[in-house]
Amino acid sequence: MGKLALAAKITHVPSMYLSELDGPAKGKRQPAIDGHLEIGRRCREAGVDTIVVFDTHWLVNAGYHINCAPHFEGLYTSNELPHFIANMTYAYDGNPELGRILADGANAHGITTMAHAATSLALEYGTLVPMRYMNADRHFKVVSVSALCTSHYLADSAKLGWAFRRAVEDHYEGTVAFFASGSLSHRFAQNGTADEYRDRMFSPFLERLDHEVIQMWEHGEWPDFCDMLPEYASKGHGEGFMHDTAMLLGALGWNHYDRGVEVVTPFFPSSGTGQINAIFPVAPMPSAIDDIGRPRAAALAGGRL
């Protein structure tokens, strides 16, 4: 029935918005913006009607949650970085039907998930920033999924992604894209040093770690990467504990995934963190949820299995 046509790991750094404005940051994030424009173009080419964003700026402490209101509109200022994103206008259409289908699919496989259609929940900037560049004309409907998960296992997030893909293919009459909106390593510059680290990584270790991970992705080393994801999330200060990445890989087959990624925007540092836009070619998925199991390592603080 339905189809997952495009999957990607995307940046949402707020300096992309600053890059539009007159000032010292003007134009600095144009490659990231161009990457978003290219991913949006490919979504249009693939016939995508709805973009589902796994948003690492939506914090939840229990369950998984889907913001599938019929319409989103407002004036957004980031509570985290109000000097970066201030009074940014937005207006997008949601997809309550798809939100309910995704939640039903996840709950049917034992992953407690709630769809919020009649809600005053606003979108977070992990969704708003990419939609600003991919969806300025409201061509796509938008569904946002909580991915800053404080008390969740990464394996459950992978199963959530699997269940979402199955729900789309079995019950949705349409074509979707799944985006993991979050960074690679995510150790911000220490307070007082932000300007110094605007275009630098926090440490050589994290920069080297991120480059090694990207190389694994390009070479399709998914069994090894899935096995190391909890430790990478912990030692790399993973944004949202990297639940967005687990969700995306679950939707693609987890450690059974066998494709190499296409880097659209090459790795770049931002305020100490590592960023990228990369397309994950969609491949067939395991037919049973049991194929997505917990890796062998013990649970790590901040990166639970």
Instruction: Give residue-wise pLDDT tens across range 249-287.
Output: 999 999 999 999 999 999 999 988 999 999 999 999 887
Measure the CA–CA gap between 27 and 18, rounded to whole angstroms: 8
Measure the CA–CA gap between 87 and 81, rounded to whole angstroms: 12
User: What are 290-293's contacts with CB under 8 Å, separation 24+?
Assistant: 291/253, 291/254, 291/256, 292/155, 292/158, 292/159, 292/162, 292/250, 292/254, 292/255, 293/155
Q: H-helix or E-strand containing 42? A: helix 30-45
Provide the residue range defining the domain that includes 274: 3-289
The dihedral sign for the CA sequence 56, 62, 63, 69: negative
CB atoms within 10 A of CB 22: 7
Measure the CA–CA gap between 44 and 160, rounded to whole angstroms: 25
* Residue 188 resides in a domain: yes
* Residue 164 resides in a domain: yes
With contact defined as beta carbons under 8 Å apart, do 143 and 50 qualify?
yes
Give me the CATH number covering residue 235.
Answer: 3.40.830.10
Per-residue pLDDT reduced to its tens digit, 29-83: 999 999 999 999 999 999 999 999 999 999 999 999 999 999 999 999 999 999 9
What is the dihedral angle through the alpha carbons of 120, 121, 127, 129, rounded to the nearest 10 degrees?
A: 60
Measure the CA–CA gap between 102 and 66, rounded to whole angstroms: 8
* Residue 297 resides in a domain: no
* Residue 280 resides in a domain: yes
* Residue 301 resides in a domain: no
pTM of the model: 0.94
Per-residue pLDDT reduced to its tens digit, 186-217: 988 888 887 787 888 899 999 999 999 999 99
pLDDT at 298 over 80: no
* Residue 296 resides in a domain: no
> How many domains does the chain fold into?
1
Residue 299: pLDDT band with limits 50, 70, 90: very low
* Residue 299 resides in a domain: no
* Residue 303 resides in a domain: no
